Amino acid sequence: MVAARELMSTPAKCVKEQDSIQVAAQMMKDLGVGMLPICGKDDRLAGTITDRDIVINCVAEGVATSSTKVADYAQGKPVTIGADDSVEEAIRTMQEHRVRRLPVIDGHELVGMLAQADIARYYDAQGTGNLVESISQE
């Protein structure tokens, strides 16, 4: 069994709840990622924010990104995967929740990120195609 920790990207960089949307966008640009985990004051995972969240919910609405806090746009309880969970479990979770990226946790600690692309590098073409198709269905 291949575990999530074997395929995940590390380290997982967190944006803090009190950071501005602009800080989150700059971090995404610097890291070349489309989603960031949001960590609370206790460094526990408090949510996630995507580049799409920023564009659709902030920029398009004329929100002042330099003074608006990330916490205002956290999308509820984040969908996660355990570090020792199998790749198959990660795929099921992505399909069920229609997400392309999963924060990977070990206990309460954020240890990495598992993206659809990470799985694609491991999985065969048919399995990857099925994953992409099931996540992308409207």
Q: What string of H, E and C letters represents the secondary structure of 43-93?
A: CCEEEEEEHHHHHHHHHCCCCCCCCCEHHHHCCCCCCCEECCCEHHHHHHH
Domain count, the chain: 1
- Which CATH number characterizes residue 42's domain? 3.10.580.10
pLDDT tens-digit profile of 12-31? 899 999 999 999 999 999 99
**pLDDT for the residue 106:** 92
Question: Does residue 74 have a pLDDT over 80?
Answer: no
**pLDDT for the residue 128:** 59
Q: What letter would DSSP give residue 3? A: B
pTM of structure: 0.81
| Band of pLDDT at residue 72, cut at 50, 70 and 90 | confident
Question: What percent of the chain shows pLDDT beyond 70?
Answer: 88
Q: Residue 47's beta-bridge partner residues? A: 38
Question: Does residue 132 have a pLDDT over 80?
Answer: no
**pLDDT for the residue 54:** 92
**pLDDT for the residue 69:** 93
* Alpha carbon distance 43, 61 (integer Å): 30
* Domain boundaries, position 17: 4-136
pLDDT tens-digit profile of 78-116? 899 999 999 889 989 998 998 889 999 998 889 999 998
**pLDDT for the residue 68:** 92
